[in-house]
Amino acid sequence: MRLIILGPPGAGKGTQAKLLAKKFNIQQISTGDILRAAVKKKTPLGLEVEKIMQAGQLVPDETVNKIIEEEIRGFSNSHGFILDGYP
């Protein structure tokens, strides 16, 4: 199962994604959560993202795509995933 939840900020995408992930036992991939975690961990990609975010700019699609790809590759026993806030 692969789901994508789209909507404006504050529409409840994250809330619904968490509920669906739990109900169907699938992974939730939230770009915002992943970006914040990378910044907090001070990973090379996180440091790059931090500069962009501090400048008030959007993180380029290419960078977000790399992060999503890394996240999906890390799933070993998943029945699927939900992309929350991506693309």
pLDDT above 80 (res 33):
yes
pLDDT above 80 (res 85):
no
pLDDT in tens, 12-24: 888 998 999 999 9
pLDDT value, residue 44: 87
pLDDT value, residue 50: 92
Mapped onto helix, strand or coil, the DSSP state of residue 8 is coil
